[in-house]
Amino acid sequence: MTTNILFAAKAERWTTYEQPLTKALTEAGIAFDLRTEFAPDQVDYIVYAPNSDVQDFSPYTRLRAVLNLWAGVEDVVGNTTLTVPLTRMVDHGLTQGMIEWVMGHTLRYHLGIDGHMNGQDGMWRNVAPPLAQDRKVTVLGLGALGAAVAQALAGLGFDVSGWSRSAKDIDGILCLHGTEGLRSALSEAEIVVLLLPNTPATANTLNAQTLAQLPSGACIINPGRGPLIDDDALLAALDSGQIAHATLDVFRIEPLPAEHPYWAHPQVTVTPHIASETRASTASQVIAENIRRDLNGEPLLHIVDRFLGY
Ligand code: NDP
């Protein structure tokens, strides 16, 4: 029997995904019909990305699962018309991209690159940076991305701790959890990387109180989600010098409005939500493998906990 797969995303994504998804589904041995339109009661699976036209899942009466193309699921996880399993994207292309982006921005801070780029003034400031082993970095969120980033940083020699909701044991990383764990993770961190999902429990993880727990002059790197940071508290901490610099890839409102104070702030670098993209070729293989598993009665991978919201 043919499996009907609806690609529910903005039109331009179809151009990127039609070929790799077709290839991956074929290679997975699935007899499929992949389209951007179907009668809802004919659809078996929905490949989903934010801003799709599908907001009401109730007419999709034979739907077996919704497969989110992105790692973050905040746009769909609370949809009460969705009653079938929801999966999220865990993909090695996405992970590798995030490792590279975080590594680049961490090294910028660690090596004091800005000081040299902005200091071409004839002064010979020969203060060498410390070795990575003497630089404490903490990664908030130790999931698919956070754990890989933490391990890559540790691989380069950084002194890495990480924080998650549940207890973890990751080679080479000081793993912390709970409220006390967050305090401990922040108390010595010179560089903080946020890779938490956007859920009610993670909102404003960095706020006036937690920013004050960091050593003075710490730097923030946020490729997670905008709501993880209380923006007013961060701006105040930047102005007071408590936070030396922040590199922000994600915001409460995207695109970040031109008048937002982050754009003009001398201690902020804004990047336009490009830390790591879902890569069409590898992500298509993940989607195809999950459909194959489900059709063969095997458990889906990367199922979202609807209660926890990630
Ligand atoms: P995962 O779901 O694999 O990991 C989430 C991590 O956050 C887990 O370690 C989890 O803890 C922890 N966590 C969740 N809630 C809490 C909490 N209340 N307190 C403490 N820790 C918590 O997600 P990924 O690693 O795949 O992705 C993380 C986020 O990165 C995505 O949700 C998305 O927002 C963002 N992202 C950004 C991209 C960009 O380009 N800027 C690209 C891709 C993703 P536990 O392990 O105990 O469950």
Per-residue pLDDT of the chain (310 residues; tens, 9 = 90+): 999 999 999 999 999 999 999 999 999 999 999 999 999 999 999 999 988 999 999 999 999 999 999 999 999 999 999 999 999 999 999 999 999 999 999 999 999 999 999 999 999 989 999 999 999 999 999 999 999 999 999 999 999 999 999 999 999 999 999 999 999 999 999 999 999 999 999 999 999 999 999 999 999 999 999 999 999 999 999 999 999 999 999 999 999 999 999 999 999 999 999 999 999 999 999 999 999 999 999 999 999 999 999 9
| Cut 0.90: pTM above it | yes
Helix axes 11-27, 280-295, angle to 10 degrees: 50
Confidence (pLDDT) at 137: 98
Those residues whose C-beta lies under 8 Å from the C-beta of residue 181, and which sit 6 or more positions away, are 163
Confidence (pLDDT) at 184: 98
259 lies in some domain: yes
Residues tagged active-site? 225, 273
Q: How many whole angstroms separate alpha carbon 157 and alpha carbon 174? A: 13
Residue whose Cα lies nearest atom 15 of ligand 1: it is 165
165 C-alpha to center of ligand 1: Å?
Answer: 10
304 lies in some domain: no
Same domain, 115 and 231: yes
User: In the numeric block, which tokens belong to residue 297?
Assistant: 């009665």
263 lies in some domain: yes
281 C-alpha to center of ligand 1: Å?
Answer: 22
Same domain, 150 and 133: yes
Confidence (pLDDT) at 166: 98
Range list of β-strands (E), 165-260: 174-177, 191-194, 218-222, 243-248
Confidence (pLDDT) at 307: 96
Atom of ligand 1 nearest to the CA of 89: 26
72 C-alpha to center of ligand 1: Å?
Answer: 8
The CA–CA distances, whole Å, from 219 to 2, 63, 137 equal 52, 45, 10
Q: Which residues have CB under 6 Å of ligand 1?
A: 71-72, 90, 94, 141-146, 164-166, 195-199, 201-202, 223-225, 249-250, 273, 275-276, 310
Residue whose Cα lies nearest atom 36 of ligand 1: it is 224
Q: How many whole angstroms separate alpha carbon 30 and alpha carbon 108? A: 46
Same domain, 80 and 12: yes
Same domain, 182 and 139: yes
- Residue 185 belongs to what H/E stretch? helix 178-187
- The best mutation among 145, 249, 279 to test binding of ligand 1, ranked by most ligand atoms within 8 Å of the C-beta, falls on 145
301 lies in some domain: no
Confidence (pLDDT) at 238: 98
Atom of ligand 1 nearest to the CA of 274: 40
Q: How many whole angstroms separate alpha carbon 42 and alpha carbon 62? A: 7
85 lies in some domain: yes
Same domain, 102 and 243: yes
Number of domains in the chain: 2
User: Do the Cβ atoms of 38 and 63 come closer than 8 Å?
Assistant: no
* Host domain of residue 75: 3-91+278-295
Looking at residue 186, which CATH number applies to its domain?
3.40.50.720
Q: How many whole angstroms separate alpha carbon 52 and alpha carbon 200? A: 23
141 C-alpha to center of ligand 1: Å?
Answer: 5
Confidence (pLDDT) at 156: 98
256 lies in some domain: yes
121 C-alpha to center of ligand 1: Å?
Answer: 42
308 lies in some domain: no
Residue whose Cα lies nearest atom 26 of ligand 1: it is 144
Q: What is the pLDDT of residues 260-279, one digit of tens each?
A: 999 999 999 999 999 999 99
Confidence (pLDDT) at 66: 98
Same domain, 140 and 224: yes
Same domain, 283 and 257: no
Residue whose Cα lies nearest atom 19 of ligand 1: it is 165
Atom of ligand 1 nearest to the CA of 276: 40
Same domain, 63 and 149: no
305 lies in some domain: no
Asked if this assembly's ipTM is beyond 0.95, the reply is: yes
Same domain, 97 and 87: no
CB atoms within 10 A of CB 127: 6
Same domain, 62 and 143: no
Residue whose Cα lies nearest atom 30 of ligand 1: it is 224
Residue whose Cα lies nearest atom 48 of ligand 1: it is 165
Confidence (pLDDT) at 246: 99
Same domain, 170 and 183: yes
Same domain, 10 and 128: no
